[in-house]
Structure 1
């Protein structure tokens, strides 16, 4: 996942995609004490990071029962460290099968600021692009352009049928 720490520069130079300062990790919630304790541990850990890093976070549960830990910050390095540490905590607590994805948001300055995403699939250990264009529609041509720009720099999913759309991403600031 750390390959994004350099690939974002290529995306900006080649395609005009700027990091928005928002990313998220998502995992399926389960009932039970151990999962609840893990959630509390994650929140305590992230709260302890806030004085040291310029970083905010919030937890959101979507309509499918997935919890999203959404991060906002100015430095991609801080965002990546917090996101990776959160994923590691989920794995260490025995819930690695619940991890779905990490999502990194970019704004396309050359095309009116529309949002584009790189999604990291935990199960397949690779990235794929996602460019939503409206209600349940996507721009596969732009996704291919993103992949070709950074496909050599990071592990990319070659099978496009596995580029699963994640609709209604909760990355925008509430309110």
Structure 2
């Protein structure tokens, strides 16, 4: 952005959402299970900025139809529900016993938003895994950057603290399987996740 852009209030265009690299989490699941003793949770979330209610209702109806089709295609049923967090961000929470079905459904929903012209409001896809003690470990996919990064909140931490050591270790281990965000300052925390 130049000085004239600043003076005239022009903003740098938002890069298009990068959706295809999302599928890397499907193969990374094997590494996480075999090397890290982590199991995928049966829920993932797609987070995006608010959309005006009328267009969102129409998109939501179309998404529900897509989810019914997706649920009938796989062996494990897929369910989805909408959620708005305390910061005003919208979520689509997707649940299934089949992790591959979850990943595919997250991709379908995000692609639908991109196709409808809402790719610039997509923030993240969040996949939860549980470690051997059942504690949550999240892999967050940043749509603007097309990269993943780990997020490990400290257990029972009401003060919003992260386990940076585990995040760094997982980032190193998983960079063979996932397009990992190289800039650590872009490993944003996502507190109070709805799953």
TM-score over 0.5 for the alignment? Answer: yes
Distance 1:148 1:49, change over 3 A: same
Kindly report the root-mean-square deviation, in angstroms, between the aligned alpha carbons of the 2 structures. Answer: 1.3
Partner of 1:63 in structure 2? 86
Helix, strand or coil for the counterpart of 1:37?
helix
Name 1:137's counterpart in structure 2.
161
What is the DSSP-based 3-state SS (H/G/I as helix, E as strand, rest coil) of the residue aligned with 2:177? coil
**For the pair shown, which has the larger CA radius of gyration, 1 or 2?**
2
Aligned to 1:108: 131
TM-score (norm 1): 0.91
Q: CA deviation at 1:94?
A: 0.4
| Cα contact 1:107–1:114 (8 A) shared by 2 | yes
Q: Give, in whole Å, the separation in 2 of the partners of 1:94 and 1:35.
A: 12
User: Which is richer in strand?
Assistant: 1
Q: CA deviation at 1:47?
A: 2.8
Mapping of 1:14-93 within 5 angstroms? 14-53=35-74, 54=76, 55-93=78-116
CA distance in 1, matches of 2:87, 2:136: 22
Residue 6 of structure 2 aligns with which residue?
Answer: none
* 1:98 counterpart (118, 121, 142): 121
Runs of 4+ displaced beyond 3 Å: none
Contact 1:11 1:146 in 2 (8 A): no
Mapped partners of 1:12, 1:19: distance in 2:
8
| 1:101-133 residue CA offsets vs partner (Å, 9 max, x unmatched) | 000000100xx2110000000000000000011
Q: Distance in 2 between matches of 1:47 and 1:60?
A: 18
- Measure, in 1, the Cα distance between the counterparts of 2:84 and 2:136: 21
- Paired positions, count: 169
Q: Is 1:160 aligned to 2:164, yes or no?
A: no
CA distance in 1, matches of 2:163, 2:58: 40
- CA–CA distance in 2 between the matches of 1:97 and 1:161? 21
Q: Gapped runs of 5+ residues in structure 2? A: 1-21
